[in-house]
Amino acid sequence: MIDPETREVRQRLVLQKGRVLRWRFRVRNKRIDWLEKRKRDTRESRFDTRRSPFRWKKLHPRNISAIYLLVLIVLGFAIWIPDLWVVWNTHRFYLNNEAIRAIVAIGLIVPLSAGVFDLSIGGVISASAVTTAWAIEMQMWPWPVGILLGVLVALAAGAINGFLIVKIKIDSFIATLGMSSVLIAYGIYLARGRSIIIKSAEFKELTGLAAFGFKWTFVYLLILVLVVWYVMEHTATGRYLFARGGNREAARLAGVQVDRYLVGALLVSSLTAGLGGVLFASNFSSVQASAGPPYLLPSFAAAFFGATQFKNRFNAMGTLLAVFVMASGVKGFQLLGLGGSGWLDDLFFGLALVLAVGFSTFRKKIYGGQRRWWHKEESGPDRFLGRLLRWGKPRTEASVKNAEEWWFDPEDREGHHLDPPTD
């Protein structure tokens, strides 16, 4: 900072390893004048738009709204139907039942992070389940061979999707939707239009009880979540996937093999859907070609709802949380006597998908678009609920004046800072 009267340097920024030191989102200044060092300047950096510590920002409903929603659901049904809801078997039941759906949703976030849709997961589930059941019961082959064939069918579907999108240049929405229809037709032909009953006890034990009343499907889900979370958040592969989904051309110019990562993402999605089909055949013992499509809408709803949690992008932990939040809501209303015919599931998941996409679009428009004069604290948790709880540091007159100088720039030619209205 330069003194306007003497034109002497009063402050300078401290650099360490090429970065400006920050503490609680404020630029730390090192005073040259040691007398002035004793007088703490309350003026904040003109580049500061966040007024509260990081730990409070993480608790904002904008970031973890699903957790607050889950708490409201649990408390609401505990007061409404305590005899049926406050029972461990109730929660254990829907956690086990939603494990397969969560596995499919976790795999779906990989191609979505790469910027493509995979609508073939319903057909992959059907084809994989029918192929496994056909090999075990109709061909009398060992159950490991049946699982291998089911997984190979899923990988073949993912490879075909990648070929159609990368080489033929067909839109991912159209290519995967058509592939889903082809796979369902394949399942109907292989099963001869009827259900296949699996009698193999060893195959059924794959989804049997593991510990504390949880099935092995829930254990498989936890392992998959940890693997996907680590790869997406802590490896270069995850960064390349997000780079491809954010800007394909920029990622290509940066040296990323965008086509390879796209094909790999589709293979991962098909593989997890195929594993979901195998687990479905083992869990329900009765397989038909129409088993897969009901998993499509809930998986997309969970993926997009989970993208609004924690990271503001597709992530494994948010998707897992979204699946069980929606499952708990559906289960609670079913215990009340609603949705006996199955309509509640479609209604709940459809609304979740629309609201998740709408909320994400709204956030990008407000917090990622043009900065307007009435959003001076656009990223601080002292808005909405934070104002009620009085989160963040109280603003001084100097900080208010500083924020006004930052947010209103009359020389801005790009229109990022708009003039406040004059009455």
29 and 101 within one domain: no
- In this structure, are strands 22-23 and 26-27 parallel, antiparallel, or unpaired? antiparallel
Let me know whether 187 and 224 are in one domain.
Answer: yes
Query: Cβ neighbours of residue 367 under 8 Å, at least 6 residues apart?
Result: 375, 378, 379
Average of per-residue pLDDT across 283-301: 90
What pLDDT, in 10s, does the model give residues 77-110? 999 888 889 888 888 888 898 999 999 999 999 9
DSSP string for residues in 376-412: TTTT-TTSTHHHHHT-SPPPPHHHHHHHHHHH--TT-
Task: Give the total number of structural domains in the chain.
Answer: 2
Domain ranges, residue 153: 63-367
Could you tell me if residue 407 is inside a domain? no
52 and 74 share one domain = no
Residue 420 in any domain: the answer is: no
pLDDT score of 1: 57
Same domain, 52 and 96: no
- Domain for residue 290, yes or no? yes
57, 87, 104 - which closes a domain = 57
Is the domain of 7 the same as that of 105?
no
177 part of a folded domain? yes
Q: Give domain status of residue 384, yes or no.
A: no
User: Do the Cβ atoms of 135 and 148 come closer than 8 Å?
Assistant: no
Looking at the fold, whether 74 and 20 belong to one and the same domain comes out as no
Structure tokens at 141: 């082959």
Mode of pairing for the β-strands spanning 15-16 and 19-20: antiparallel
Check residue 396 and give its pLDDT.
Answer: 54
Does residue 374 register a pLDDT over 80?
Answer: no
Mark whether 52 and 94 lie in a shared domain. no
What is the rounded CA–CA span in Å between residue 195 and residue 206?
20
Identify the CA nearest to 283 among candidates 87, 101, 89: 101
Contact present, 371 and 416 (Cβ < 8 Å): yes
Which run of H or E residues covers position 238?
Answer: helix 236-246
Both 127 and 156 in one domain: the answer is yes
Q: By C-alpha distance, which of 262, 225, 272 is closest to 242?
A: 262
> Which percentage of the chain shows pLDDT scores above 90?
43
Q: What is the pTM of this model?
A: 0.73
